Structures are given as C-alpha cells and as structure tokens.
Chain A
Amino acid sequence: MPAERSVGMDHSHYPYSPLPTRSALTWPSGKPLAMGALVLLEHYEWDPPPDAYSLRNSSGGLIKLPAPDYVQLTHREYGHRVGVFRLLDTLERHGIPVTVAVDKLTAVHYPWLIDHLMQRDCELVAHGVAASQLITSKLSEEDEAEIITDCLDTLEKLSGNRPSGWFSPEGVESSRTPELLAAAGVNYVCDWPNDEQPYKMTTPVGDLVSLPLFLEVDDEFALWHRRASLASWEGMIVAAATRLHVDGQTSARHMMLTLRPWLTGQPFRIRSLDRALRQVTQLGGVWAAHGNDIVKAFSES
C-alpha cells in the first residue's frame, strides 16, 4: 500500500524507534557486543516448479546459463559437501556458537548433515522450502502459511527440535510474512537488516522479535555482489565489531554475520574469516551466542 504522509512507518510491522532514545540495553553477561553467525544451507533445485520465483541475480556460477546450469548448481552444492565443515570448524575454533538457517529441501535431501549439525550443538533456523522457491506477495496467504508450517514441521521431525527462528529464503517476504510467522509460533525473524539491536514486531496475532542481520558484511553482499576484496571484507568485519564494541558500552549491540558455505567455505576465503574472527574475539567484551540466546536476552531485558 502506498505511504500516507504521516508520522511513523508506512506499514504496521513495528513503530519507528530511533536508537538514541531507547532505554539502554544490556546483555546478561554485561558485555557490550553479542556476536553470532548465521550459516545458510540453501538448496537450489536443478528444475524448480514452473511457477516458483527465484532472484533475478542469484549468486554463484559464472554467468546466467541456459538450464541445466551445472556451474551454478554445483558451485552452490559445494557448500553442503565441503564448505560447511570449514565454516563450522572456524567458528568453533573462535568459540562462536553456530546458528544455521536450513531450508526444507536441504533437510530432506541431506539428513546426515542435519544430524551432524545437531551433534555440533548448532541452532537451526527455519529457512523456507528452497532458494529456488521464494516467499513473495505472488503467493496466496494460504500457500504461504502452508510453506511456513511445512518447513517448521519438517525441521522438527528431522532434527528433533522445532526452530524458534526464521529467515526467509534470500530474505524475501510478502507483506503478510511477519503475521503468518507469529501465527505459526515463530519467535524471531532475521529478514529485516535495519538495526544494531533486536526489536519487537507486532502483528494482529501476536508479537515477534526481529533479529537484524548485518547486511554489509554478509558474504554474498560484500564478496559476490559488491566484489569487495578479501582484505577489504576482513577489515570491514573488524572495523564494525570494534565500533559496535565501543558503542555497545552505552547500549549493548549485536552483530550477526551471514555466511554461505559455498562462498566463504572456499579454501581461499576461509582464511580471511579466520583472521577477522581472531581480531574480533581479541576485543574482549564479546558475548558469542546463538541467535535464540540473543533474542531471549533481549526479550527478558
């Protein structure tokens, strides 16, 4: 709906809230910066349903090739076979609990990997059906609600835990998504990269917490779409964390790194993440946490 020229947001998902006017946020540990990592396990179908919507500039591969694009499909598949283990090893080495966004088709086709993630104490976040089936306003409300429930049910069945968090495939939502997530019992959503603290979303059927990701240091945004050099990306992560660590002494902040196994999990990229995390964790005063720990701390504050 077009904006009305009146005070506040042009939608009803959350009110405007300038950060300096908020009461000070503190983390339970008293540390100024909460650091988390959201690793994305995304399934790209070689033959998506004809009415499915995918991004026009989906990443991976070389150029847009006529189907079947082996190059793009296998580049992405690298993450599930090889890259994910480098990310897990690196994050664990720096003591950062790993939150993993998993879509339904990944869970169905890679049961070994789901078991492995659970054994390594990862938190699973629900991530829709597939990266080749986005949730957009073109879906009916009924279909969208069904997709959300189906994804949560599948992950619960295959992992033993019902996810409390949600990240839409490619961060794409319809205008109904927050309400449908709240109706499905989801506790937090990662689709809105607009803040350095979690905040409350309200819907007609209940509240939801928005846990913003940090878009500019998102590996796909920085390294694939913007083609930042690895040295520049490493510097960005460290500079952002250093500043948030300072600003967080007034009111605590969080930083969620979004990492793709097929991208940062490549042999030549993993070393840059490793160096960045070594510097970030040396800041002291960093509370490394799962997404749901940060949300819980926010909700109880």
Chain B
Amino acid sequence: MALPPHRVDYLPMADRPKISWPDEAKVALWIAPNIEHYEYLPPRDPRRNPWPRSPHPEVQGYSHRDYGNRVGFWRMLDVLDEYGVRCTASTNLAVFEHYPDIGKAMTERGWEIMSHGIYNTRYLSSLTEEEEREFYVDCVDTLRRHTGQDLKGMLGPAVSNTVRTPDLMAEAGLIYHADWLHDDQPIPINVDNGPLVSVPYSIELNDVPVFLHHHDTAEFVEMVKAQFDTLYEEGENSGRVMALALHPYLMGMPHRIQALEEILDYLLGHDAIWQTTASAIAEHFIEHHYQEFVEHAEAISAVHDAS
C-alpha cells in the first residue's frame, strides 16, 4: 500500500459487501464547517510555516480567516438553521476558549464536534509519541469540559499527522479519522486497539482549494451537484458517503452565501439521503459492516497469496 504500512487492506469498490444505510438511504451526507483559529504569532515549527507570506505576524492572512469567526460563521449559521442541517464541526478546540459564543451556538444546535486539533497553526507532524499522546488527552478533556461530548473523531490539525496517529487516536477512544481521502465508503484502519475507521472527507469538495486556488462559486456548485449525482446513482447498489467541507471565512462571504443555499436546496431535495454526522456514519458502519469488510479484504488477499 502507498500508505503508512499495513494500515489499510485493499478492497476494490468493484468487489465489496453491500453497505445499507438507515431508511435505505443511498448517500450518507455529512456537512463539515471548519471552525478554526490560526494564531497571530504561532510557535515556530521547523517543518511547516503557517504564514509563509511574510515574517510573522502576517496580518492579512490572519484577518482573512478571523473574518470567519466574526462575520462569516454567523451568516452561514442562518442558512444552516434555515435548512435544519446537523453539522459535524471540524473544530480547533481552542475556539471554545477564545470564542465561547461560537461554542455555545454549536452545542445549542446539537452539532457533533470533531477535533481539528487545538489550533490550526500547531501541527502533529513534529510531535514525539508522548507529545502526541498528551495532545489527544487535551482534545478529549477540552471537548468534554466545554460540551459534555465524548470525542469520536479527528481531522488532523491543518491535515497534519504522524505514522503513529491512527494507533494513538484509537488508544484515546476515538473511532474515526477523516484524513483518509482514499474511498467513498468508511474503511477499517488497522490499529493496535480498535476499531478505527476512515470516514470519507474531501479536499476537492472543499471551499478552500476551490476558492483560494482555482474556481469561482458557480463552478463549486456544479462540482457539488455532479458529485452528489454520481454517488446517488451508485448508492442504489451500496451506500456511499459524501462530505461537504466548508470554511466560514470563505462560504460565509456575502457574494458566496447564496451558493450554499443552492447547494443545500439541491442536496436536501433528494429523498434517499441520510443527512447525519461523521460519528453516526462511523458507528453505523462499525456495528453493521466493519466485520464483513475486514473478512472480505482477508479473503481477497488470501486468494492472491495462494497463487
């Protein structure tokens, strides 16, 4: 595998056990606003500079993102409320300490809080094993302290990871990892003490790469609709997962917010979807399909080991 060794067994989409979502839904849809804080003067990390544009502080980049917490989040929230979306907020957990108003708004709505680390400017990639272990304790405690929720999953802070990450996540009681872009279905991740599964996230159906680097709003709407159409057709045979990754500093802009309404109109206008959270997807998969997936992958590799 082209991945940290032995984490994932090959399971081709063309030869898999069927996934059944609740109420015969074809697509499990999770919507993930990324609620982030990038530090004004982050600690220096020799391997990654969060603000490469200038010596720190980089006020423009900092405020572009800060806009999300001051303005964009609240505009997005109105739209999400209007459509009754239950989000999985990918959250830098220090947001609960810096911006309790945002924390309160999310918990009041019953959103799931997924860890996105503590700050988006503190990366896992440079941590020792012990430091990374302490990091999960901090994440679990911080979330419990502010919301009473048990932490179920993580998208690494600024998508950073180590080769040990899945083992240490599972050890801390987490059940899903969103940094795996390898599939349209949850997949078992091999860890010392499991279970841990990947829940498909997206860096393509994601406003950051789309708007910062490539395309305008109309293209994003077309991409989202096309993604959904394909998965909805295929979901007839076996359930699929679709993730929509959003950032308030981009999607909450006045010139873009209408696109969110158009997207939600389209997606939620279909009957056979399960609009849910990442942990609900992971839990359903672990309960109903995990074992079958593991056994089928073993059967596939056994055929070839014998040949």
Chain A residues proximal to chain B, CB less than 8 Å: 43-46, 61-62, 65-68, 70-71, 73-78, 80-82, 85-86, 105, 109-113, 116, 227, 229-231, 266-272
A10 to chain B, nearest CB (A): 37
Question: Which residue from chain A places its CB closest to the CB of B14 in the assembled complex?
Answer: A85
Chain B residues proximal to chain A, CB less than 8 Å: 1-5, 8, 10-15, 47-48, 123, 125-126, 156, 159-163, 165, 179-184, 203-205, 208-209, 213-215, 219, 222-224, 226-231, 234, 300, 303-304, 307
With A61-B203, A229-B215, A268-B205 as given contacts, are A74 and B179 in contact (CB-CB < 8 Å)?
yes
Question: Which residue from chain B places its CB closest to the CB of A61 in the assembled complex?
Answer: B203
* A71 near B300: Cβ-Cβ < 8 Å: no
* A68 near B223: Cβ-Cβ < 8 Å: no
* A112 near B3: Cβ-Cβ < 8 Å: no
* A268 near B230: Cβ-Cβ < 8 Å: yes
With A46-B4, A68-B4, A227-B215 as given contacts, are A82 and B13 in contact (CB-CB < 8 Å)?
yes
Top 7 A-B pairs, shortest CB-CB distance: A267-B230, A268-B227, A268-B226, A111-B304, A74-B182, A66-B47, A66-B125
* B2 near A270: Cβ-Cβ < 8 Å: no
With A62-B203, A270-B230 given, name 10 new contacts (CB 8 A): A66-B126, A66-B160, A68-B162, A74-B181, A77-B2, A81-B183, A109-B2, A267-B184, A268-B226, A268-B230
- 6 A-B pairs (CB sep. < 8 Å): A66-B47, A66-B48, A74-B181, A77-B3, A109-B10, A267-B226
* A65 near B160: Cβ-Cβ < 8 Å: yes
| B interface majority secondary structure | loop
Chain B residues within an 8 Å CB radius of A109:
1-2, 10
Task: Name the contact of A66 in the complex, choosing from B14, B123, B214, B307 (C-beta under 8 A).
Answer: B123
Q: How far is the CA of A66 from the CA of B179 in the complex (A)?
A: 14
Task: Name the contact of B159 in the complex, choosing from A65, A86, A229 (C-beta under 8 A).
Answer: A65
* B230 near A271: Cβ-Cβ < 8 Å: yes
Question: Which residue from chain B places its CB closest to the CB of A266 in the assembled complex?
Answer: B204
B247 to chain A, nearest CB (A): 13
With A45-B2, A109-B10 as given contacts, are A230 and B159 in contact (CB-CB < 8 Å)?
no
Q: How far is the CA of A77 from the CA of B47 in the complex (A)?
A: 25
Chain A residues within an 8 Å CB radius of B226:
230, 267-269, 271-272
